[in-house]
Structure 1
Amino acid sequence: MVPKLPDRIYGCIYKKERLATVEENILPDTFVLKIWKPFPGLGNDIVIKNIPEFYFLVMQEDYPLGSIEKISEKINNKYDKGFHAVVGEISVSGATYPVIRIKNFEKKNIIQELQCYYLNEGFHFSKERKLIKAKGMIKLKKHFSLKEVKEGIFFDLEVEELGYIRIPCKLDWDKFERITQRIKIDVALGAFDAATGVFYIGKNAVDVIRVFNPKRSLENLQLIKKQYLREIGNPELIKVN
């Protein structure tokens, strides 16, 4: 029997995505990025219902996660905007920016409104705006609500498509990407999008792979975990720098 986890677990997710500068429906002299196509690992044949949009408000400084969570909850409760916010940073085109990541469920033009709300609460946006259309590395810092359904396999309790598998070591992005490309050859795994991450559970840092699958199941995550563990144990991959 796996132990019960705390209600909220702090952790980070790392993902490389195609990013583009948002040029309309934002406050003047601010810098906002958007993911071109979320969850690219699913390919073009998988249709996801109600997929949210992901925006990144570039800030003047790195604000604490707790402050953003508190103010975002206040904004949502007062104005019913249907969004979720976490903090993070983006490294793209040779620079790194502190950001608030906005998950917009309603697909309405709410970003300018949200900027106004955050501004009124004392948060400040970067005025250094750049035109970007490139892949960038995203680090998100957030709290998770999880259930360990089997040792080393977790279900996300807030997003039904998300699962996480524990791995024995941290992988840099290039190694992780090579391993993912190799295991996706196995059609039995189905289509899924993957990212790396870490959970801080008690005094332990738990390295994980985040799996997004519209048909999430324990059986599928077990298959994916088995393949990743096999490839991580391949010395030809591990020794590549």
Structure 2
Amino acid sequence: MTKRELIGKIIIQENIDTVDANKIDKTFVINVPDPYKSYYTRFTDVEKPTSIIFVTKQPNSFEKILRVTQKINKEHNLDITGAKCEVKIGSRKLSGVRVKGINRYTEIIAIQEHYKNEGFEFAKSEKFKDTDSIIRINRFFNIEELDEGIYKSHLEDNTYYVQVPKFMNWDDFRKYTFDIKNNITDRNYDIAKGILYDKGGIIEMLRIVKPKATVEFLKTIQQKYIDKLQ
């Protein structure tokens, strides 16, 4: 099977919480729940955060975040991944660094200190729970092709990507997703939209999170969106 490493962007909608302990005092840190767990229930496994966002005063370039994360991993024997992200809550837009690979909730403050020591400035603390947001993340994708236009992630468990032929704006994506989920037998999956940058241009794709998803299931979801886009 063909393996590829590409840069791209993912857009997800999640209910998020602030992290109110184990962080640098008076800074703004967000916990993003596991997408599959959050489909059923609120994220409760705080001992091992799935995804943490350090909200910054100003946007930082993707290149800077990658370089600093690489340096932190090398100097502190860590295996975290950092990505550029934007969090939209209502009309507000927040800039941040999305970090994955933190083993325990109590490790957040040490990793945040590493970014601070490299010149990252964090936004002033806020506090909220279960707040609707749209998160845009610029990141690397390491994928393996399972079938034509069907891919599996090598970085994240139970995560798959399917290619679609056309761009969907966010409103259309939400509308199509609502219609499809209400007309399919197996609704137990999480879905988001995004793009991959290829040498041939932009690839429009959907990210699907589902344990042990079959190629047949992924093709079914893919075809339903293709039908909507015709």
Q: TM-score range by the shorter chain?
A: 0.7 to 0.9
Instruction: Verify: 1:166 aligned to 2:173, yes or no.
Output: no
Q: How far 1:76 moved relative to its partner?
A: 2.7
Aligned to 2:126: 130
Q: State the aligned residue count.
A: 225
In structure 2, the gaps of 5 or more residues are: none
Taking only aligned residues, the RMSD between alpha carbons, in angstroms, comes to 2.5
TM-score (norm. length: structure 2): 0.86
Measure the CA separation in 1 of the matches of 2:105 and 2:19. 14
C-alpha change, 1:41 and 1:224, in structure 2 (3 Å) is farther
Code of the residue aligned with 1:131 in structure 2: it is K
User: Of residues 164, 173, 176 in structure 2, which corresponds to 1:176?
Assistant: 173
Which one is further off, 99-108 or 138-147? 99-108
In structure 1, the gaps of 5 or more residues are: 234-241
Measure the CA separation in 2 of the matches of 1:51 and 1:227. 35
Measure the CA separation in 2 of the matches of 1:181 and 1:40. 19
Which one is further off, 30-39 or 189-198? 30-39
User: Of residues 174, 199, 203 in structure 2, which corresponds to 1:202?
Assistant: 199
Measure the CA separation in 2 of the matches of 1:60 and 1:51. 26
User: Of residues 82, 88, 91 in structure 2, which corresponds to 1:94?
Assistant: 91
Measure the CA separation in 1 of the matches of 2:154 and 2:18. 32
Could you say what secondary structure the match of 1:109 adopts? helix
TM-score (norm. length: structure 1): 0.82
Conserved 8 A contact 1:82-1:106: no
> Percent identity among equivalent residues?
24
Q: How far 1:213 moved relative to its partner?
A: 0.9
Q: How far 1:40 moved relative to its partner?
A: 5.8
Code of the residue aligned with 2:82 in structure 1: it is A
Measure the CA separation in 2 of the matches of 1:219 and 1:120. 48
Code of the residue aligned with 1:130 in structure 2: it is E
Aligned to 2:217: 220
Could you say what secondary structure the match of 1:181 adopts? helix
